[in-house]
Structure 1
Amino acid sequence: MKTLLPTSSAGSLPKPSWLAEPEKLWSPWKLQDEELKLGKQDALRVILQEQQTAGIDIVSDGEQTRQHFVTTFIENLDGVDFENKKTIRIRDRYDASVPGVVGPISRTKPVFVDDAKFLRQQTNQPIKWALPGPMTMVDTLYDDYYQDRETLAWEFAKVLNQEAKELEAAGVDIIQFDEPAFNVFLDEVNDWGIAALERAIEGLKCETAVHICYGYGIKANTDWKKTLGSEWRHYEKTFPAIQKSNIDIISLECHNGRVPLEVLEMIRGKKVMVGAIDVSTNDIETPEEVANTLREALKYVDADKLYPCTNCGMAPLSRKVARGKLEALSAGAEIVRKELSALQKSA
């Protein structure tokens, strides 16, 4: 029987301290070569168990095998130079030292497929796997070759599609494309961002998701949010086109933000991963707080299409806090499940 309100996390989960420096985004590996490979597999086992113990329904790798949610994919492609990095502005918010596109983009080998196969061997639960979206990839490097954002996005979409098809064949149930850039470059989203995303999912039979958040709880992002006013209405500008797209699930930031939840009405009919956990604070939500966010979302999302989730990844948090937040997500979803079940019985 299909679970009502199936829970999941949006992306990264904290890495064990023996694998990488804890509570730090994109920290370097502490192991090398064969030790690193085995260490990543051990971390996958640990993070799977943490999700299962917390009662999470749709599990993921928690990005245990990658340093960065975008560049780890990019560094496995041909046509990208990681030796001569340049500093650029990322999503109009912060400076970062990034690789560059210096030749034609191509994917000569799978990137995450072996990791996905390993995770599939460990569990019978549905698996969600995240890939960077084309627009966010374009915004996370400098381009000395194509020198056109849209052209580069289409090239990335082609290689993402190759990877996604192999992940599907490895047993992944939901492939999620992370597109935080969709909340920044609103005109480009409508001009070519969604079209590039549809190229990335072409031919897939598994479910597909796009994750559009306001970013990790790092200072650059929290400072940016303070400039956005009392209501964050970015979703309004892109939802009409996303509603018409072939993407199955839309993953959004809803808890403790200033997104007016009535915007969800614009994507009614789509499945929605409702962010009910704030990842920018160490405060652990109560199950009732989670339930309140889900109840509010249910005014605009049909119950069979609502997937409780976190706002974004939790890599910068401690394992204890992340575990507590996952447990709260699970418990909050269970409260609302029982309420819906009681309503059904009384109807």
Structure 2
Amino acid sequence: MEEKLEIWSSNLGYPRIGEKRELKKALEGYWQDKVTDEELKQTATSLQERIWETQKQAGIDFIPVGDFSLYDHMLDISINFGFIPKRFRQQTIKKELELYFTMARGAKNVPPLEMTKWFDTNYHYLVPEIDTPPKLLGNPILTLIKKAIALNIQPKPVLVGPYTFLTLSKVPEGKDKFWVLPKLLEVYKEVLKQWAMAGAKWVQIDEPALVLEMSGEEIKVVKDIYHNLSSPDINIMLQTYFEGVDFYPEIAKLPVQGIGLDFVRSHNNLENIKKYGFPKEKVLGLGIVNGRNVWRTNLTHAFALAKEIIDIAHPKAVFVQPSCSLLHLPISIELETKLSSEVKQILAFAKERLQEVAILTQALRKGELPAGSFAGSPEVHPLKEVKEKIAQLKSEDFERAEPYEKRFLKQQKVLNLPLFPTTTIGSFPQTKDVRQKRARFKRGEIDQQEYSQFLREKMAFCIGIQEGLGLDVLVHGEFERSDMVEYFAQKMTGFLVTQNGWVQSYGSRCVRPPIIYADVSRPKPMTINEICYAQSLTPKPVKGMLTGPVTILNWSYVREDIPRKEVAFQIALALRDEVLDLEKAGIKIIQIDEPAFREGLPLKKEKRKSYLDWAVKAFRLSNAPVKPQTQIHTHMCYAEFKDIIEAIDAMDADVISIECSRSKGDVISIFETYHYKKGIGLGTYDIHSPRIPKKEEILATLKRCLKVLAPQQLWVNPDCGLKTRQWEEIIPSLRNMVEVARELRDSLSKD
């Protein structure tokens, strides 16, 4: 008699921030010395226990423990495993958490760890720096395992695997990226041993880097890692996500008890199982509901797919689970009181994903789905004029009228900017009074006239500050914008905006991704009033500020009934109308930000050309019709640019600005081999840290830039917007930046 297949429900990770963003508020209170160490830790403990209870009540059998973090999970490993760079080891630590947050945010004379995107998501992780061998300094998940067991929860401790951790880390120049691996494996083995002794039966070791392209030598490293970690004391679920595994046969043979695969983002995993089979002695982690998008799962389809996979794989047992951690989703649709019941029925956030996992688990155990378990897809009403515009696009719709060299001369004649023109990226501090006034306006407590007058006062103050500092190109400050994507989503058709759909971007920074459910258009101008008012206050150029089509796409939850390319082109056409209106109103510089351009790059190289082709076209479509004299800027931040520098060039922006401070200027090395001719601002100081950069630091960055870029190309700016900073931080920082630009300008004029 055939033994019945064991089927369990499992989760990979859950949002950390809390339903009311309790973690954000506690962190920011702590940084302002309004919350003590103990109060912050108590908030974290309470949140973790509530998260566990939510999953338990949803019917999840194996609940992740250790997926929670005060700031970032990669930072947690760095601290606990002793990867503390020298500049932090030299600090005098007065408070328990001071080292942790200094590594995250920096201190007066100590730059923080570099920050970049977690694979192709909008979550930012802190990049570990491996300048010393590891040493186990702490194992805080041990306590969580014991607490979870005491609460009658089956804990599944979570840890980023050695291969992914080292692949995403920085090592000293000349060192192999795996130089500490032997000692690191000793630390991992000790951690797993302690977890097993505490009562954990399974451990989830996250290895998303296994879906990237790997060399034969890297495959050998992975084999060595898991032959070393294999232990009879604890079961390892080797968890991959975000894509398919290319070296599937080698991964399938690793001495682990379970392998987790993403069957939502990739068909390759199913094709691999069909071709190579699945080890019958292993548990299959069945990533079957989408951890990256918000449309309710078609349970009929998911159930059929799950049955097909199980029938082909014949695994020892099955963990039914999301395709990846639910960190990338809002917490619950229950928190949305303004969306219609019809809309809410087609959406699933993190809590609803748990319910779907539980339903599918029960259905697979019983062999059938319960009746009425699928709510349906969004009902889309196409806009005929949008469809026609897309269909009628011609090659000239994507091309500027003149090449950059000719445009540069005409723009310089109009703008008359000095060498090393100084500017900022766009936003200025969203102080408490700004947030309160916006909230009062949304609640209807003040009228449009009072709110508009308040915004004008803020813009006037901001223009005055910039003029006083001597900046060459100004911005209006973006005080009317709660978020750079949400603001435009609220003004275009085809978008839903949530009340409480918050998602962690990094640390305490949360965003509310809009939901694109239908065709996109721009009913009326979106930014003209504010930009033109700011320009009326100064003779200096004020930049028009827009968010680009690719970023709006990548930072939204996107409809799945048409290709992403088509959605991007719809957004680009809507933005083009705005760009042309800004130009008509006399705005000479228009910045179309694309910080998420790199983020959308597929993890597999064979898919990248197609994405870059249409992403570049979408950006060009948004601004191609402007006059040669109109200068187009774009901004990108916190990403690996070396893979896409040709695409950045092909975007044909007159000026780009990119991050250069946290990476210690490493991005400049790209231009040592790629001859970039257009204007470029390499961010001279890190706005994600409260520290004020010294003039010497800014000068060092600019001088390094000048080794590979011509003085006529170089702009001077921070590496991102100033929204999250305080005026007392940014004024001296910008003053230092402007003074360095002037001194450098003067020194070149004397040579």
Q: Give the structure 1 partner of residue 655 of structure 2.
A: 249
Match runs of 1:244-283 below 5 Å = 244-258=650-664, 259-265=666-672, 266-283=674-691
Aligned to 2:527: 112
Match of 2:626 in 1: 204
2:589 counterpart residue number: 174
Partner residue, 2:35:
none
The answer on whether the counterparts of 2:692 and 2:733 sit within 8 Å (CA) in structure 1 is yes
Q: Aligned to 2:730, which of 322, 326, 329?
A: 322
Question: Number of aligned pairs?
Answer: 319
Q: Is the 8 A contact 1:84 1:99 kept in 2?
A: no
Asked if 2 retains the 8 angstrom alpha-carbon contact of 1:146 and 1:152, the reply is no
The structure 1 residue matched to 2:491, chosen from 59, 64, 76, is: 76
The percent of aligned pairs where both chains have the same amino acid is: 25
**Alignment gaps of 5+ in structure 1:** 22-26, 215-231
Distance in structure 2 (CA, Å) of the matches to 1:264 and 1:107? 37
Aligned residue type for 1:211: H
List runs of 5+ in structure 2 lacking aligned partners. 1-415, 602-607
| SS of equivalent residue, structure 2 residue 741 | helix
2:549·2:571 contact (CA, 8 Å) conserved in 1? yes
Contact map agreement 2:593 2:634 (CA 8 A) in 1 = yes
Local SS of the residue matching 2:429: coil
State the SS of the aligned residue for 1:43.
helix
Greater relative contact order (CA < 8 Å, ≥ 6 in sequence): 1
Q: Is the 8 A contact 1:88 1:141 kept in 2?
A: no
For residues 180 and 110 of structure 1, the distance between their equivalents in structure 2, rounded to whole angstroms, comes to 23
2:637 corresponds to which of 213, 229, 239: 213
- Inter-CA distance 267–324: structure 2 relative to 1 (3 Å threshold): farther
Match in the other structure for 2:746: 338
Q: Secondary structure at the match of 2:591?
A: strand
Q: Which residue of 1 aligns with 2:32?
A: none
CA shift, 1:29, in A, is 3.7
CA distance in 1, matches of 2:711, 2:633: 18
- Which has the larger strand fraction? 1
**2:725 corresponds to 1:310:** no
Q: Does the 8 A contact of 1:249 with 1:270 survive in 2?
A: yes
Gap change, CA 1:54 and 1:120, over 3 Å in 2: same
- Structure of higher CA gyration radius: 2
How far did 1:18 drift?
2.6
> 1:272 Cα deviation (Å)?
0.4
Partner in structure 2 of residue 293 of structure 1: 701
SS of the equivalent of 1:18 reads helix
Report Cα offsets for 1:231-250 as digits up to 9, x if no partner: x7x21111112223421111
Q: Is it true that 1:154 corresponds to 2:569 in the alignment?
A: yes
Equivalence for 1:222 = none
Q: Give the whole-Å Cα distance in 2 for the aligned partners of 1:294 and 1:29.
A: 41
In the alignment, which residue of structure 1 is the partner of 2:91? none
Match of 1:132 among 535, 541, 547: 547
1:120 Cα deviation from its structure 2 partner: 1.4
Letter in 1 for 2:658: L
Report deviation, 1:211.
0.5
Shift of residue 256 of structure 1?
A: 3.0
Question: How far, CA to CA, are the matches of 1:86 and 1:14 in structure 2?
Answer: 23
Shift of 1:8: 0.3
Indicate how the Cα distance of structure 1 residues 304 and 85 shifts in structure 2: closer, same or farther if over 3 A, else same: same
Amino acid paired to 1:256: R
What are the Cα deviations for residues 186-244 of structure 1, in whole angstroms up to 9, with x where unaligned?
Answer: 33652321111000112112111121101xxxxxxxxxxxxxxxxx7x21111112223
Structure 2 SS opposite 1:51: helix
- Cα deviation code 1:29-69 (max 9, x no counterpart): 45542211111111110111111111111000121221111
Cα deviation 1:136-185 (Å, max 9, x = unaligned): 10122223375432111110000011101111122222211211212322
What amino acid is aligned across from residue 591 of structure 2 in structure 1?
Q
Q: Report if the CA contact (8 A) 1:212-1:252 is conserved.
A: yes
CA RMSD of aligned residues (A): 2.5
Could you say which residue in structure 1 is the equivalent of 2:467? 52
Letter of the structure 1 residue corresponding to residue 749 of structure 2:
S
Question: Residues 291 and 335 of structure 1 are in contact (CA less than 8 Å); yes or no, is this contact kept in structure 2?
Answer: no
Per-residue Cα deviation, 1:323-343 (whole angstroms, up to 9, x for no partner) = 111111101111211221121
* Deviations 1:285-321 (CA, angstroms, capped at 9, x unpaired): 1222211111111111110111101100111111110
Moved more, 178-187 or 321-330: 178-187
Out of 553, 576, 579, the residue aligned to residue 164 of structure 1 is: 579
* Deviation at residue 105 of structure 1 after TM alignment: 1.0
- Provide the rounded CA distance (Å) in 1 between the counterparts of 2:449 and 2:593: 29
Which stretch has the larger CA shift, 299-308 or 8-17?
A: 8-17
The Cα shift of 1:99 comes to: 2.8
SS of 2:661's equivalent in the other structure is coil
1:129 Cα offset (Å) = 2.2
Local SS of the residue matching 2:417: coil
TM-score normalised by length of structure 2? 0.40
SS of residue in 1 equivalent to 2:596: helix
1:83 CA displacement:
5.5
Instruction: Give the AA of the match of 2:696.
Output: E
In the TM superposition, what is the alpha-carbon distance from 1:260 to its structure 2 partner? Answer: 3.4
Q: 1:142 aligns with which of 557, 561, 565?
A: 557
Deviates more, 1:28-37 or 1:61-70: 28-37
**Which residue matches 2:346?**
none
Q: Any idea what SS the aligned residue of 1:103 has?
A: strand
Alpha carbons of structure 1 residues 95 and 51: separation in structure 2 relative to 1, 3 Å = closer
**Partner SS for 1:180:** coil
Within 5 Å, give how 1:27-106 maps onto structure 2.
28-31=438-441, 32=446, 33-82=448-497, 97-106=512-521
**Distance in 2 (alpha carbons) for counterparts of 1:15 and 1:96:** 14
Tell me if the contact between 1:86 and 1:142 (Cα under 8 Å) persists in the aligned partners.
no
TM-score (norm 1): 0.84
CA contact (8 A) 1:249 1:272 kept: yes
Q: Residues of 1 paired with 2:542 and 2:511: CA distance?
A: 31
Q: Give, in angstroms, the shift of residue 72 of structure 1.
A: 0.4
Report what 1:221 is aligned to: none
Structure 1 pair 287–198 and aligned structure 2 pair: CA distance change class (3 A): same
State the AA in 2 paired with 1:308. V
Contact 2:430 / 2:724 at 8 angstroms: preserved in 1?
no
